[in-house]
Amino acid sequence: MAGRLQDKICVITGAGSGMGRAMAELFVAEGAKVVCADISGKQDDVAAMLGDSAVAVGCDVSDEAQVQAMIQKAVDTWGRIDVLCNNAGFGGGMAPLHKQTLELWNKVHDTNIKGCFLGMKYGIAAMLKSGGGAIVNTGSASAVIGWKHHSVYAAAKAGVHQMTKVAALDYSDKNIRVNAIAPGTMWTGLVEASQKFEAPPADFPVLAGIPMGRWGTARDIAEAALYLASDAAAYVTGVVLPVDGGYSIGFSGMGAERPGLMSVNAEDE
């Protein structure tokens, strides 16, 4: 039986680890050819593991020339691009707004929203030439609801959400669908390293604010991306899909006192 992305040509940024790597692995398992793009160098190992169905590209998504080269790599290798996942991200630190720095603002916005803009700019141009495609942007639940001390990151991801909706309108008659995912608290390698947890802690305070009561996983996000990228979502565009265990719909009885979520998917998207 054919996979859900059989013979689709996909470009995934941030594919060296975390959610991006999970997307690359799942997409290939579903029949896709994948360009694994990342700034870290880890994309080479991921592509090697995936074999002939993947190629690696080093890419700083805030650099226009590198993004152009990333898209061109897909076209040169497989003739077109069908799916683009703008997943690379950077979260920076958590602090009240008056303690945030312009340096952090620039880094967070260069990676998250400028990177998404450049990916869509050149990805859409390629899709227009080949007859259409699907774009999946990685946003954040912090842009759906307020998270304390996340002003810089939330602003960038809110921009991703709104840019997704406007691009969906701009290209809905061109056979190009544009959607986004809004991850909540995710268990990724970054969390494990930064918090020095050996396994997802079941009693972590933030879980009290999540109706489903568990951490999200990279696979949870990859499955959502697969749906939005596939023909199963052929009539879906302009959607920001929360994948957060129910946090953004509210938590009965806790109101404003419910625990806020950590910025745990930053740099590992």
pLDDT on residue 120:
98
Spatial distance between the Cα atoms of 24 and 47, rounded to a whole number of angstroms: 9
Query: Hey, what CATH topology would domain 9-257 get?
Result: Rossmann fold (3.40.50)
**Residue 174: CB atoms within 10 Å:** 13
pLDDT, average across residues 128-154: 93
Rounded (10°) CA dihedral 194, 200, 201, 207: 100
Q: Over 90: is that where the pLDDT of 193 sits?
A: no
Residue 257, pLDDT above cutoff 60: no
Q: Say whether pLDDT at 239 is over 80.
A: yes
Please give the C-alpha separations between residue 148 and each of 8, 89, 144, 145, in angstroms, as whole numbers. 40, 19, 13, 10
Alpha helices in 43-145 (DSSP H): 43-50, 64-78, 102-109, 115-130
Q: What pLDDT does 256 receive?
A: 42
Separation CA 52–CA 49 (nearest Å):
9
pLDDT value, residue 204: 62
114 phi, psi to nearest 5 deg: -65, -40
Lowest mean pLDDT among 56-60, 76-80, 198-202: 198-202
Beta carbons within 10 angstroms of residue 257's beta carbon: 8
In angstroms, what CA-CA distances link 97 with 100, 105, 154, 241?
Answer: 5, 10, 11, 27
User: CA-to-CA distance for 80 and 16, rounded, in angstroms?
Assistant: 22
The C-alpha atoms of residue 76 and residue 168 are separated, in whole angstroms, by 26
| Residue ranges covered by each domain of the chain | 9-257
Digit-coded pLDDT (tens) for 117-139: 999 999 999 999 999 999 999 99
Residue percentage of the chain with pLDDT more than 70: 85
Give the active site residues. 153
Q: Which residue has the tokens 């009539």?
A: 235
